[in-house]
Amino acid sequence: MEVEIEVEGEGEEEVMVTPGEVVGKSSKVIAGRGTYLSPHNQTIYASISGRLSTVSPSPDSPDQRSTAEVTALRSHGSVPRPGSLVLARVTKVMPKMASANIMCVDSKSVREKFSGTIRQQDVRATEIDKVDMHSSFRPGDIVKALVLSLGDARAYYLSTAKNELGVVSAESMAGASMVPISWTEMQCPVTGQIEQRKVAKVGR
């Protein structure tokens, strides 16, 4: 849903928005706190849930666009933003993407439910066309990922296309916590069975 922003006189119009909601076009408003500009379509989106307000420019300002700001209704709890590092639990794996629930943002737990999507092109940095989603992730895996942006359906686009990003915790068919043995494999310590994953490289 697109929120039309209009500022009349000296007043400020306020509405409630959620992450991913359009708050305006950059031709009409400036991205302020709690919002961000998407360069590819010059659209400004809300990055947090809260109250949207538009602030009129001063009469002598060379830029006469209003500023859009979103003020969170509560200050506690972390919110994913482009550039944040998150831990997420994979919930569903499909041929072209995997869905996940974000659990932590920059090492802080979240209080609200945030969804993430890892697209095939964002799994790794090389040989992108050869990525097999089912060999990279399984439901229940915990992945460390980078937030790229807000995507469709209010789910954040996540990337694991760095050596230190990917699966950090996975359970084997036998119910044991698997041990990484390479960047693409994890092994069950109980059965010795090896499973494919996009493994996060652990610093030594």
Dist. CA 82–CA 164, nearest whole Å: 18
Q: What tokens does 203 get?
A: 């610093």
Q: Which two tokens stand for residue 28?
A: 């009409």
64 lies in the same domain as 89: no
- Is the pTM higher than 0.75? The answer reads no
pLDDT of res. 39: 76
Residue 178 burial by CB count (10 A; 0-12/13-18/19+): exposed, middle or buried?
Answer: buried
**Domain boundary residue among 72, 97, 112?**
72
| Closest listed residue to residue 146, CA positions, set 114, 186, 185, 116 | 116
62 and 91 share one domain: no
> CATH no. for residue 56?
2.40.50.100
Which is it for strands 66-72 and 22-25: parallel, antiparallel or unpaired?
unpaired
Structural domain includes residue 119: yes
- In this prediction, residue 102 carries a pLDDT of 93
| pLDDT of 168 | 92
The last residue of one of the domains, among 46, 72, 98, is 72
**Does residue 145 sit in the same domain as residue 62?**
no
Do residue 55 and residue 132 come from a single domain?
no
Q: How many domains does the chain have?
A: 2
Does one domain contain both 109 and 185?
yes
In a domain, 98, yes or no: yes
Name the CA radius of gyration of the chain, rounded: 20
Q: How many angstroms separate the CA atoms of 202 and 143, rounded?
A: 12
Is 190 a member of any domain? yes
The whole domain housing 25 covers 14-72
On whether both 134 and 170 belong to a single domain, the answer is yes
- Is 79 a member of any domain? no
pLDDT of residue 175: 83
> Is the same domain home to 67 and 97?
no
pLDDT of residue 140: 93
**Per-residue confidence (pLDDT) for residue 12, from 0 to 100:** 45
Per-residue pLDDT of the chain (204 residues; tens, 9 = 90+): 444 444 333 344 458 887 778 888 989 999 888 888 887 788 888 887 788 888 888 888 888 888 988 887 655 567 888 999 999 999 999 999 999 999 889 878 787 889 999 999 999 988 888 999 999 999 999 999 999 988 766 789 999 999 999 999 999 888 889 999 999 999 999 999 999 999 998 654
Question: For position 76, what pLDDT does the model report?
Answer: 53
Do 173 and 117 fall into the same domain?
yes
Predicted local confidence at residue 87, as pLDDT: 92
